[in-house]
């Protein structure tokens, strides 16, 4: 079924102009229509956020707008940088509400239940579809808060069987300030939860392309709160890791981290734990929390696109021709594509499968915080009207 034969249940947009008010007005020109119910966007941290926030609020009056800063954008034309990419949802097909979590350190199960109950009430009031089997959650968290594990586990308990995915906000790889957007303002040290209820078919998925090698490293000293590993196999962490990947400690950099991450085996599956930096004392800081006593396995990449292609094509066999795919793609995957000369191929794949999203500082799937994955949702087309 061609896109022309079905209603426009979503609209997509991207803008590259940097002046905040002009960028917001250009987004509104591409997305605004009488049935617009919600906007989800991802933007470069290079924008003047204190001006962009109110500009977006003014450009979309009485429309719920949520989003976050990114480490790269996925636009209707594929990978982008230094821009804003956005999705506008038609309220005839999507009942959506969003909430802000501003106190990540004190977020308890009772708080999570209150947030989810409020979002569910909005979805039920719209009466588009039953909650069960027709609802998913998108979470966006401050990517430098180091609180993803706590918040996601708590939210997952409150969500029950509702599938959840999302990403950690980025800041164009500066690792300085990341933000989520809610109610006209960009917030740091915060998170947003978007609940989406729809009669359309969808499939939430997560995948990575890393395979395990033989080398094992036991975390013998770590500080999970700081996501820092001091020792692996009872020696300085950077030294042990450098030996496994076959380079001197002084040559460890983000390229090595992208191509030679570590993984943790949980329930028979490996989940990637990516390294952020080497510290002066020889410790390693990760993008995920790592605890003392766990066994980490050296990983290496297979073909970058194969696992994503498999998951998206499997999703399309379930939901049919995609209306849109909302994707959270680790910024280290994009770095790998740049290092291996695959950026153009990956970008074209994203464009062909109607992926809109962003490059993240960590991905989220059903209550877990993970790295170097692609996670998202494929949403099917509405049925053609006679």
* Residue 7 predicted with pLDDT over 60: no
What mean pLDDT is predicted for residues 328-342? 94
- Rounded to an integer, what distance in angstroms lies between the CA atom of residue 193 and that of residue 216? 36
* Residue 311 predicted with pLDDT over 90: yes
107: which residues sit within 8 A by CB, 6+ positions away? 101, 147, 150, 151, 154
What mean pLDDT is predicted for residues 29-58? 97
Q: What is the pLDDT of residues 148-188, one digit of tens each?
A: 888 999 999 999 999 999 999 999 988 889 999 999 999 99
What mean pLDDT is predicted for residues 185-196? 96
200: which residues sit within 8 A by CB, 6+ positions away? 9, 93, 319, 323, 379, 380, 381, 382
* Residue 4 predicted with pLDDT over 60: no
- Taking CA atoms, 79 is separated from 14, 128, 338, 359, 377, in Å, by 11, 33, 11, 9, 18
Beta-bridge partners for 70: 44
At what angle are helices 331-340 and 343-352 packed, to 10 degrees?
130
pLDDT band at 103 (very low <50, low <70, confident <90, very high): confident
pLDDT band at 115 (very low <50, low <70, confident <90, very high): very high
pLDDT band at 384 (very low <50, low <70, confident <90, very high): low
Tokens of 368: 């877990």
Identify the weakest region by mean pLDDT among 204-208, 223-227, 368-372, 382-386: 382-386
pLDDT at 2: 38
pLDDT at 154: 95
The DSSP symbol for 309 reads H
pLDDT band at 386 (very low <50, low <70, confident <90, very high): very low
* Residue 86 predicted with pLDDT over 70: yes
Residue 159: how many CB atoms within 10 A of its CB?
25
């Amino acid at each position: 079924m061609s896109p022309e034969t079905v209603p426009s249940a979503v609209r997509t947009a991207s803008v590259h102009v940097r002046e905040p008010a002009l960028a917001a007005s250009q987004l509104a020109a591409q997305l605004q229509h009488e049935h617009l119910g919600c906007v989800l966007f991802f933007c470069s941290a290079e924008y003047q956020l204190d001006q962009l926030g109110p500009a977006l609020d003014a450009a979309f009056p009485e429309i719920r707008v949520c989003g976050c800063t990114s480490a790269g954008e996925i636009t209707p034309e594929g990978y982008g940088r230094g821009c804003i990419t956005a999705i506008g949802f038609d309220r005839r097909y999507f009942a959506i509400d969003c909430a802000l979590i501003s106190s990540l350190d004190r977020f308890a199960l009772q708080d999570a239940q209150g947030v989810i109950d409020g979002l569910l009430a909005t979805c039920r009031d719209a009466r588009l579809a039953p909650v069960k089997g027709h609802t998913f959650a998108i979470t966006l968290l401050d990517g430098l808060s180091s609180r993803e594990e706590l918040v996601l586990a708590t939210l997952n308990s409150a969500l029950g069987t509702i599938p959840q995915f999302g990403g950690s906000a980025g800041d164009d790889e500066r690792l300085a300030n990341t933000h989520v957007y809610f109610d006209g303002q960009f917030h740091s040290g915060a998170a947003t939860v978007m609940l989406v209820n729809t009669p359309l078919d969808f499939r939430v998925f997560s995948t990575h392309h890393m395979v395990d090698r033989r080398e094992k490293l036991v975390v013998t000293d770590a500080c999970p709160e700081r996501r820092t590993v001091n020792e692996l196999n009872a020696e300085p962490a950077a030294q042990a890791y450098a030996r496994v990947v076959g380079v001197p400690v002084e040559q460890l950099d983000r390229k090595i981290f992208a191509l030679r991450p570590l993984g943790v085996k949980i329930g028979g599956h490996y989940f990637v734990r990516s390294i952020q930096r080497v510290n002066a004392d020889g410790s390693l800081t990760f993008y995920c929390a790592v605890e003392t006593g766990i066994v980490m396995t050296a990983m290496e990449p297979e073909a970058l696109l194969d696992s994503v292609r498999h998951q998206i094509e499997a999703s399309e066999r379930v939901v049919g021709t995609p209306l849109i795919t909302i994707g959270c793609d680790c910024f280290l995957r994009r770095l790998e594509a740049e290092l291996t000369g695959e950026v153009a191929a990956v970008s074209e794949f994203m464009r062909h499968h109607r992926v809109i999203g962003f490059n993240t500082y960590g991905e989220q799937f059903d209550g877990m915080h993970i790295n170097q994955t692609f996670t998202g949702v494929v949403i099917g087309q509405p049925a053609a009207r006679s």
